[in-house]
Copies of this chain bind each other. A is one copy, B any other.
């Protein structure tokens, strides 16, 4: 359900600020939206309750964790039967280093984002992990040379 119509400018501001820093105290948040703590607190809880805020997370540095390679891998399935598609999607969910997966238009069926320690590690992943998913027909790996932007920030301005 899309009902951002029920959000006012203050709610929008709160979503903006909490995306930038969810460790901000209610007091500080209140100051930034020019309200006192209780209505600010109540608004935040409402945004959580109604699902605008799905959860809170720590943003971890992948370089620090030794993941220096990101690959955008385009995948075509062998056949497009319901069972094969479901099997592929289930497998994707279970593999930690696949952090994103989209069903796409165009020449391929899916695009996944894969984190690897280095090229050797990605090669191992392709051969041993992807290579064992037998519903996969063909692959095309696009290597990320540089991360320009990875904002984790959903735009929240009002629809016009």
Residues of A within 8 A of B (CB): 1-4, 15, 18-23, 50-68, 70, 72, 89, 92-93, 96-106, 110-112, 115, 117, 142-157, 159
Contacts and interface: CB of A to CB of B under 8 A. Distances in A.
Contact of A155 (B51, B56, B96, B146): B96
Contacts of A60: 15, 19, 52-54, 154, 156
Given A58-B19, A144-B102, A155 B115 contact: yes
Main secondary structure of the interface of A (DSSP, over half): mixed
A146 B155 CA distance: 19
A4 B155 contact: no
A103 to B, nearest CB: 4
Given A93-B149, A100-B151, A149-B100, A61 B51 contact: yes
Nearest to A104: B142
B147 A102 contact: yes
Nearest to A154: B60
A154 B105 contact: no
Contacts of A23: 22, 55-56
Contacts of A155: 65, 67, 96-97, 99, 115
Contacts of A3: 64
A103 B146 CA distance: 5
A117 to B, nearest CB: 6
